[in-house]
């Protein structure tokens, strides 16, 4: 009986440790502005979010837009499915008349991304456009802000691994 209790405790402890590491990884790698993942199907998206506010076609495939709040900002999330029906990208878009607000939002998100994934090796920082790309094993993350007299907006995108370009692929 004592051996069974010890075995049960070891199994329980192993399970807790495994779940803890899984939770830590998933928290760092999860998409912060969406509950959907790259494993989500179109039908699951509709079941969870309802009918999209807008449907468009992009170079990756069909894109479905939903109003969404992130960091107390009203924007929208776009889910793109490739021709095989797999989730290819998940993007949060935000626009404002205030360029300084967009720039500050960019800086906040950029800091979060650096804390989670380190510094990016690809960035652009000019007067009207800020952009960074993190090329990760799990897929690319891009953060872009456009600030001009005509438009102030931010685009925060997670790409599936299958639709991402790795550092190695770029250097070939």
Closest by CA to 54, choosing from 41, 40, 43, 68, is: 68
What is the pLDDT, as a whole number, of residue 28? 63
Ranking 18-27, 39-48, 80-89 by mean pLDDT, the lowest is 18-27
Q: What is the mean pLDDT of the chain?
A: 84
Per residue in 59-117, pLDDT tens?
Answer: 889 999 999 999 999 999 999 999 999 999 999 999 999 999 999 999 999 999 999 99
**Tokens at 104, concatenated:** 């500050």
Q: What is the residue whose two structure tokens read 């494993």?
A: 39
Closest by CA to 91, choosing from 121, 54, 129, 51, is: 54
Cβ neighbours of residue 145 under 8 Å, at least 6 residues apart?
102, 103, 105, 106, 129, 130, 131, 152, 153, 154, 155
Burial of 57 (0-12, 13-18, 19+ CB in 10 A): exposed
Answer yes or no: pTM beyond 0.85. Answer: no
């Amino acid at each position: 009986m004592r051996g069974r209790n010890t075995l049960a405790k070891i199994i329980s402890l192993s399970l807790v440790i495994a779940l803890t590491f899984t939770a830590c990884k998933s928290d760092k790698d999860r998409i912060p502005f969406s509950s959907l993942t790259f494993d989500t199907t179109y039908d699951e998206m509709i079941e969870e979010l309802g009918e999209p506010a807008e449907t468009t076609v992009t170079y990756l495939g069909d894109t479905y837009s939903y109003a969404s709040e992130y960091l107390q900002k009203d924007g929208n999330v776009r889910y793109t499915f490739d021709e095989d029906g797999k989730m290819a990208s998940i993007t949060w878009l935000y626009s404002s008349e205030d360029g300084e607000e967009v720039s500050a939002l960019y800086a906040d998100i950029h800091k979060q991304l650096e804390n989670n994934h380190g510094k990016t090796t690809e960035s652009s920082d000019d007067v009207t456009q800020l952009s960074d790309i993190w090329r990760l094993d799990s897929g690319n993350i891009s953060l872009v802000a456009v600030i001009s007299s005509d438009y102030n907006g931010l685009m925060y995108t997670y790409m599936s691994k299958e639709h991402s370009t790795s550092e190695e692929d770029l250097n070939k």
